[in-house]
Structure 1
Amino acid sequence: MTTTTEARPRSGRLMLNKVPEVTVWFWVIKVLCTTVGESFADWINTQLGVGLVNTAWIFTAVLVVVLAVQLRLKRYAAFPYWLTVVVVSVTGTLYTDILTDQLNVPLWISSAVFSVLLAVVFGVWWLRERTLSIHSVTTLSRESFYWLTVLVTFALGTATGDWTLELTGWSPGVSVLLPLGLIAAITALWRFGANPVLSFWLAYILTRPLGANIGDWLASPKVAQNPGDPTGLAMGTFTTSLIFLGLILATVVYLTVTRADVTESYEATHATQVTSNPRKERIALAGFGLLAVATATLLVWAHGQPHVGPAPETDTTSAVQLAPGQAVKHFPPAKVGALRTLASTSLKDARSGDAAGAHAAAQSLRDLWDADQGSLQPLDQTGWTSIDAQMDKMLKTFGIDHPNPPMSPAQQETELKALLTDLG
C-alpha cells in the first residue's frame, strides 16, 4: 500500500523524506512494534512492580529523548525511526491504560475522545501543509505532525481494540480476525482505487488492535484464572516481548543493510504523480462506509450473544483466620519489611491528612505485592491468600482497582492497621 499524492512544499528546513517507503516490510515491522507495545508495557507495569503511572512517566521521558534524536536527522534511518515507533507504541498504550485503569474512563469515551483528537490533528496538519501523505514528510513541521498522529493512533487503536474485547467477549485469538479482515478489505479497496492516504491511515490505526491481540494471545495463560479472563499460548509478557523485540531488531538490521525501504532521492520522493481516479475514489469511499456499517453491525450482534464477561467483584476475605504474623511466617523477612514500610507510610499519611501521599503509598504497596506474587505465593498459598484478601480490602478504601471513590481516612486507617497486623 503506497500513499503517493501531490504535496505542496512549504518554507522551512527541507530534508529528504524522514519516513520509510510503505513496503511489506513497513507493515511487518509495524505489527511487530504494536505487539511489543502491548506486551512490554504489561511486563514492566506488572512484573517489575513499577506501576502504571510510573511506567508512563518513564516512557514519556524516553520518548522525548528518542524523538529529539529522530527529529534532528536529515533523512530516514531505520534504527532511530523504528526505535521511536516502539517507544511511541508503548507510551500510547500506557496513556490509554491510565485512562481506563486509573481514572475509570469508559473505553467508549476514550475511543470517542481519541477519534476527535485524531481528526483535529489531521485537520490542522492538512490546513497547514495541504497534504497528509507520508511521502512528503520533508520538514520539521510535517514530521512533528506525523509523530503526533502516530501517538494518537496508538492510543486510539488501544482504546478501540480493548472496547471491542469488552463488547464481544472474544478471546484475543479470535479478536485478531477482525482487524486482520478489515485491513484486507481496506487493501482491496486501495487496489481498486481508494484514496491512498486515507487507506494508509485506516490500515495504520488497525494494526494497533491487531498487534495488541496477537500479543495478548501469545502471552495469556492457556486456562483462564477467572471467568472472562483472556486465554492464549501462555508464553508470558516477557517472552513475547523478547521474541518480538528480537524480530524487530533483525528486521531493522536487514533494512539498514539492504536499504530496501529508503527513498533514494529527493526528486523521487517529491515527484508529482497524478494517479487518482475521482470516480473510483468516490466508489471506494462508499465502500469504506459500508465496511464501517458492517463492522458496527457485527459488533452489535456479537455483544448480544451469550458470552462470559469479567467475573463480578466479590468479597475476597479469606475464610482462614490466621494469628498476627502467621500469614507471612514463610515469606522472606526483607520482602515483608518492604511491604510493612509502605503500609506504615500510607497509614502515617492518612492520619496526617495527606490524602495524596497515603494514596500513592497504597498504590506502591499494591504494585510491590503484585510484583512479588510469583515468588511469595508458592511459599505459602494459605498465607498469601490471607494477605491478598486484606490487601484488597485496604485498596478498596482508596478506590484502587475498584470502581468506588476513596473512602474516609478513618476507614483507610482501619484496613491499613489490619494489614499491618497481618504482616506481623
Structure 2
Amino acid sequence: MSRAENDDAAAVYNRVPKVTFDFWLIKLMAVTMGETAADYLNIKLGLGLTMTSLLMSGVLLAALVWQFAQKKYVPAPYWTSVVLISIVGTLITDNLVDNFHIPLQVTTVVFAVALSLTFILWHRSERTLSIHSIFNSRRETFYWLAILFTFALGTAAGDLVAEQFSIGYLASGVLFAMVIASLSFGYFVLKLDAILGFWLVYILTRPLGASIGDFMSQPAQYGGLGFGTIITSAIFLTAIVVIVAYMSVRHEGEELASEA
C-alpha cells in the first residue's frame, strides 16, 4: 500500500457534508419534496396518516442503516435519509394535530423542548455540538435525532404561523426567507455563533420549503400554482437526484473531521 493510501486509510472523515451553498440548496429542495410527498401519499393515494407514517418510518430506518454503515459522508445515503426524515418529521406533527387533536401551539413547544434536550444530552455526552466532528455512531445518532426534531418543529411552527396569520403560501415563504436572510446577515456580519445560526436556519428552511411546496402544488383557489403534488414532487426529486449524482462524481461535501 502506498503512503497516500495509508494516509487516506488513517484519516477520520466527517460523516455529514460541509455546509456550503449546495448543502442549503439541496436541503431546501429535500424539505419541499418532503411536504408534497407526504401529502401525496396521505391524501392522493388514500393511505391515511397512520399507514403513511408506518410505511415511511420503515423506509427511513432502512435508509439510516445504509447511512450509518458509511465511514464518511456519501451523498446518496445521506440525502436519501434527509428526504425521508423530512417526510417522517412532517407526518409526526400531522399525526399529533390531526389524529390526536393536539394544538399547534402545544406541538411547537413540545418539539422545541425535545430539540433543546437533545442538544443538552449531546453536549454533555460529547462536549461539543460541532457538525464538523460527526465521526462516530454516538455523535451521528444525536445528529439525526436533532434533524428529526427540527423537521417536526419546523412543521409545527410553520403551520402555526400560516394558520394564525392566514397570509398565504407565497407570503409565508417570503416571511421565512426574510428571517433566514436576517440570520445569514447576523452570521456573516455580526458574528452570530455558527452552531446556533446553523440550527436556527435548519429549522426555518423546513417551513420555507413547505411554503414553496404548497405554493406550487395547491390549486389557484387556495393561492397556489396548481401543479399538484405529483408534478411538484417529481420536479424536486429530479433536481435532487441530479445534484446528488454530481456531488458523488465530484466528491463534493467531504471533509476531514475536526477535533472539536
What is the Cα deviation at residue 260 of structure 1?
2.3
Take 1:231 and 1:205, find their aligned partners in 2: how far apart are those partners? 24
Match of 2:138 among 128, 141, 148: 141
Local SS of the residue matching 2:254: coil
Match of 2:226 among 234, 258, 270: 234
Question: For 1:215-272, what per-residue CA distance to the aligned partner results, in whole angstroms no more than 9, with x for missing partners?
Answer: 000001011xxxxxx3210000111001000010011011111122111xx3xx3167
Take 2:113 and 2:12, find their aligned partners in 1: how far apart are those partners? 30
Question: For 1:131-183, what per-residue CA distance to the aligned partner results, in whole angstroms no more than 9, with x for missing partners?
Answer: 11110101110000000000000000000000000110011011001110111
Alignment partner, residue 270 of structure 1? 258
Take 2:144 and 2:34, find their aligned partners in 1: how far apart are those partners? 16
Counterpart check, 1:215 vs 2:203:
no
Equivalent pair of 1:53/1:98 in contact (CA under 8 Å): yes
Equivalent pair of 1:15/1:139 in contact (CA under 8 Å): no
Map 1:182-201 to 2 at 5 A.
Answer: 182-191=179-188, 192-201=190-199
Structure showing greater relative contact order (alpha-carbon pairs closer than 8 Å, 6 or more residues apart): 2
Question: For 1:94-139, what per-residue CA distance to the aligned partner results, in whole angstroms no more than 9, with x for missing partners?
Answer: 0100011111111000000000000000000011111111101011
Alignment partner, residue 69 of structure 2? 72
Local SS of the residue matching 1:136: coil
Alignment partner, residue 28 of structure 1? 25
What is the Cα deviation at residue 15 of structure 1?
4.6
Percent identity over the alignment is: 43
Local SS of the residue matching 2:94: helix
- The one-letter code sitting in structure 2 at the alignment partner of 1:211 is G
Count of aligned residue pairs for this structure pair: 249
Alignment partner, residue 123 of structure 2? 126
Take 2:238 and 2:68, find their aligned partners in 1: how far apart are those partners? 25
Match of 1:62 among 59, 63, 78: 59
Take 1:78 and 1:236, find their aligned partners in 2: how far apart are those partners? 28
Local SS of the residue matching 2:220: coil
Unaligned stretches of 5+ residues in structure 2: 1-10
Take 2:37 and 2:252, find their aligned partners in 1: how far apart are those partners? 28
Higher helix share: 2
CA RMSD between the two structures: 1.1
Match of 2:50 among 38, 48, 53: 53
Equivalent pair of 2:60/2:85 in contact (CA under 8 Å): yes
Q: Which moved more, 1:52-61 or 1:253-262?
A: 253-262
Unaligned stretches of 5+ residues in structure 1: 1-13, 224-229, 273-424
- The one-letter code sitting in structure 2 at the alignment partner of 1:217 is F
Question: For 1:361-392, what per-residue CA distance to the aligned partner results, in whole angstroms no more than 9, with x for missing partners?
Answer: xxxxxxxxxxxxxxxxxxxxxxxxxxxxxxxx
- The one-letter code sitting in structure 2 at the alignment partner of 1:165 is A
Map 1:13-412 to 2 at 5 A.
Answer: 15-191=12-188, 192-223=190-221, 230-263=222-255, 266=256, 269-270=257-258
Local SS of the residue matching 1:30: helix
Equivalent pair of 1:77/1:256 in contact (CA under 8 Å): yes
- The one-letter code sitting in structure 2 at the alignment partner of 1:146 is Y
- The one-letter code sitting in structure 2 at the alignment partner of 1:126 is H
Local SS of the residue matching 1:134: coil
Q: TM-score, normalised by structure 2?
A: 0.94
Local SS of the residue matching 2:58: helix
Equivalent pair of 2:73/2:253 in contact (CA under 8 Å): no
Equivalent pair of 2:41/2:47 in contact (CA under 8 Å): yes
Question: For 1:47-86, what per-residue CA distance to the aligned partner results, in whole angstroms no more than 9, with x for missing partners?
Answer: 1111111000001111111101111111110000000000
